[in-house]
Amino acid sequence: MMQAPDAVHFQGVGQVFKTATGPLIALDQVNLTLARHEFVAVLGPSGCGKSTLLRLASGLLAPSAGRVSVFGTPMTRPRTDIGIVFQQPTLLPWASVLDNVVFPAKHMRGRVSQKDRAQGLEVLSKVGLSGFQDRLPSELSGGMQQRVGIARALFLNPDILLMDEPFSALDALTRDAMGYELLRLWQASPKTVMFITHSIPEAVLLADRILVMSARPGRVIADLTVPLSRPRDEHALRSAEIQDFAGHLRDLLIKREAA
């Protein structure tokens, strides 16, 4: 029997950028796999190539070397079964919350149908923004704007969700709340998630598996399964086992910084 293809697969992926001071090796020989519906966090220091990795997985960037495939198909262009959440919500400032959420329909089909609008309202309710559809982004808090960005990514009901440090611009409390909310959404409607972060607690709370990256050149230096069952709560994070696991992650990150 044929095995189902991995949702995301990187094989020998390298990325070199031309810069004024010469070529910059952002990623070197990256191999990774995300199984369907797996929640994988990518953890690494600033500048190690996390956003580059995500752009390669999204098809927004073509690799300098190696291969990126999605559900067994080589990636050649952005796909509608992939939703992306950027670090900044990147909303259209003049468009209403609902118009921002249904923007992918407009972008793809040139128009927004009644059905699109109904679907837009539904995803807004899923991220806790019922009643805010007619507001402008500037009328919302940072956390709410980021939820609009998540709703927009969920709007086409993608199989794969790529998230680039989506909560890092938020205050600590909002950030925790958004993490639990994301877990709830993911449990209600499973998706393959690649979640980029530089926060160890965030990676541990959310992910099934954590890929640890080193900088210069960006490489995956560890691939670790989080020793926690689901559902998860604040309690789970306080166990001695999890504290040890987080300590191990910290060692991996610090050692590479110092090296």
19 lies in the binding site for ligand ADP (CB under 6 A): yes
Interaction residues for ligand ADP, span 206-225 (CB under 6 A)? none
Q: Report, in Å, the least distance between residue 164 CB and Mg ion.
A: 6
**Residue among 15, 51, 58, 133 that touches Mg ion (CB under 5 A):** 51
Residues in a beta bridge with 41:
195, 210
| 191 phi, psi to nearest 5 deg | -145, 160
Does 257 sit near ligand ADP (CB under 6 A)?
A: no
Confirm or reject binding of residue 21 to ligand ADP (CB under 6 A).
Answer: no
Beta-carbon contacts of residue 26 (< 8 Å; ≥ 6 apart) = 15, 16, 17, 49, 52, 217, 218
113: exposed, middle or buried (Cβ count in 10 Å: 0-12, 13-18, 19+) = exposed
Exactly one of 4, 12, 17, 223 binds ligand ADP (CB under 6 A); that residue is 17
Could you tell me which stretch among 45-53, 59-67, 69-77, 103-111 binds Mg ion (CB under 5 A)?
45-53
Number of residues that bind Mg ion (CB under 5 A): 2
Q: What are the backbone dihedrals phi and psi of residue 49, each rounded to the nearest 5 degrees, phi first?
A: 110, 15
Do the beta carbons of residue 58 and residue 205 sit within 8 Å? no
> Is the Cβ of residue 52 or residue 146 nearer to ligand ADP in the bound state?
52
Question: Encoding tokens for residue 64?
Answer: 């300098």
7, 8, 26, 182: which one binds ligand ADP (CB under 6 A): 26
Q: In sequence order, which residues have a C-beta less than 8 Å from that of residue 219 and are 6 or more positions away?
A: 27, 28, 29, 30, 213
| Distance separating alpha carbons of residues 254 and 259, to the nearest angstrom | 9
User: Is residue 49 at the binding interface for ligand ADP, with CB under 6 A as the rule?
Assistant: yes
Q: Which is nearer to ligand ADP, 50 or 232 (CB)?
A: 50
Which part of the chain contacts ligand ADP (CB under 6 A), choosing from 17-25, 107-115, 117-125, 225-233?
Answer: 17-25
Q: Residues 253, 236: contact at Cβ < 8 Å?
A: no
| One of 4, 12, 23, 47 touching ligand ADP (CB under 6 A) | 47
Q: Using the minimum distance from each CB to Mg ion, give the nearer residue, 51 or 119.
A: 51
**Contact footprint for Mg ion (CB under 5 A):** 50-51
